[in-house]
Chains A and B, each alone.
Chain A
Amino acid sequence: MKISALLATPSELTDTASSKCAVVLMTRIRLARNLAGHSFPGWAKEPQREDILARCREAVGATSAMKRSVNSPVADLSDLDKQILVERHLISRELSGTKRGAGIVINRDQTCSVMINEEDHLRIQVLRAGFQLKKAWSQIDAIDCEIEERLDYAFDPELGYLTACPTNLGTGMRASAMMHLPALVISSQMEKVVRAVNQLGMVVRGLFGEGSDASGSIFQISNQTTLGESEEAILKRLGSVLQSIVEHELNAREKLLEVDSGKLFDKIGRAYGILQNCHQLTSSEAMNLLSLLRLGIDLGLFPEASRAVTDRLLIEAQPGHIQAVGGLDLESAKRDALRAERMRLEFNDFARPDFSLHQKT
């Protein structure tokens, strides 16, 4: 499969929008694995890296999950392809910067990707739309078992899976959820939430920016520790933290509607107006506006059918995706114009917000 064909194929992230994804946009699990008896990628010499790359590409490509996949050295990808894969959360920025001896295997629906010779020999990832920790785990567990049939993993009974960085020892597992938390941001509760979540051994970071300024109010929450607890225990703990954040967000929305609905509706109404009429739009402003529209959909101000386009644009308004349409050498002002044009087009026949549902009598 060619990378251009892959990028044109409907993907889990851009085409699965449903109300089930309201607060948790997507769930991801990543496993770090290494081959026994071989230096880690950061320490290995070039020929060793090439050898490991070849073995891993073959072993991963032979799994049932990767029957139809893109299986390529990173060096063979264009800068734009790499940027798009980063924006779709399929490869890391670090991997996209590697010149030689690194590779990727990505399946057709883009639920599963394997990075080869990033920080570890293998970084296996499964990504699912919505709140799907269990499903993501059973999928990645199966893929991991299949790869293990073919490769000797570096494993120690005491320390678990051996990884280049000691922070990943043990399960080698990082599970995360991408959450849309606009009401917590608007009501200035995000800092409190971050602190509480940290105390529970989880990490919060803004997806498009940091802290409470994160544009789009989208945050990623993941486990901090990997050793001393089973995968199931980590996922259970993370799951309950996520659940409680969802509840906090929903409560914050209720509260906003109750005490300050005028201000909230003003924000959403303006976002709608700008998206329909803008001529210059940066990617961070786009994230913020789309985020407000998404909140409007959750609140029933827009029809449920408009969720799909909003979720897709959250990914496709990013610079690489815009450049894929307008060309790589596009300067940022032109990019902003092109992004605005795309929004005007997409939102041209987008239903007007209906505030009557929440009107106070």
Chain B
Amino acid sequence: MASPLKCDLCGKPATVHLTQIVNSKMHKVDLCEACAQAKGVTDPGGFSLADLLLKASMNPDASGAVEAGNSGAAVCPSCGFTPSDFKKHGRFGCPQCFRTFAGMVTPMLDSMHKGTRHVGKVPHRAIERRSLHDRLVELEAGLIAAIKAERYEDAARLRDELQQLRQPAASLDLTRNAAPASPPAATSSSAR
């Protein structure tokens, strides 16, 4: 090595060199003592190379992709987060952000993970509960519309279906404690 390597984060001479292969791609990170310390390379609890790669992918010359990729939306409708917030924090604002900024997330994942599609555990109960909830809302709306339009046959069918679906919903609610009743969840319905 003829010329000393520079710190990827601040440009000072680098003394800490890390190499890692993620998803069969080689990644190198060079850091100065101070940045290594700050990024938790010396803190057993906090260091993750992927984290650093993430920061590196957000430095000025790499951020063009971020800007171009951000599928039109500059602000997350659910939480008010913007791409520049991500550049600052390296974390997203809310679950909805992953939809809002999908164009920015997808290219990141490729260098960060083994694949880009989840193949593990699925929270079946939570999904069931939510799709049941969505279906109930849909049926209720349909019922009101049918009554308004005097389509009584449709209304009767919708009412029966609602009744059937509500039975398991009631017993599910018992196991959920008071969670759905808490008022500050106002943002959650709009987020779905």
Residues of A within 8 A of B (CB): 34, 36-40, 42-43, 47-48, 51, 55, 58-59, 62, 86, 92-94, 119, 141, 144-145, 148-162, 164-167, 169-171, 173, 195, 198-199, 201, 203, 205-210, 220, 224-231, 233
Contacts and interface: CB of A to CB of B under 8 A. Distances in A.
Contact of B118 (A164, A170, A203, A224): A170
B44 A39 contact: no
A228 B21 contact: no
Contact of A47 (B43, B81, B115, B184): B184
Contacts of B19: 195, 198
A155 B122 contact: yes
A164 B79 CA distance: 13
Nearest to B78: A37
A165 B105 CA distance: 11
15 contacts: A37-B95, A38-B188, A43-B89, A94-B46, A157-B118, A161-B118, A164-B91, A165-B92, A198-B21, A209-B42, A210-B41, A224-B49, A225-B50, A229-B114, A229-B119
A11 B5 CA distance: 46
Given A162-B95, A205-B44, A227-B113, A155 B123 contact: yes
Given A37-B192, A55-B182, A169 B120 contact: no
Contact of B117 (A145, A166, A228): A228
A160 B120 CA distance: 8
A154 B179 contact: no
A199 B99 CA distance: 32
Contacts, number: 196
Nearest to B178: A58
Closest 9 CB pairs of A and B: A228-B115, A37-B188, A160-B118, A154-B95, A227-B113, A228-B114, A43-B93, A167-B50, A162-B95
Contact of A39 (B47, B94, B130, B189): B94
Given A43-B79, A171-B120, A210 B42 contact: yes
B116 interface: yes
Interface in B25-42: 41-42
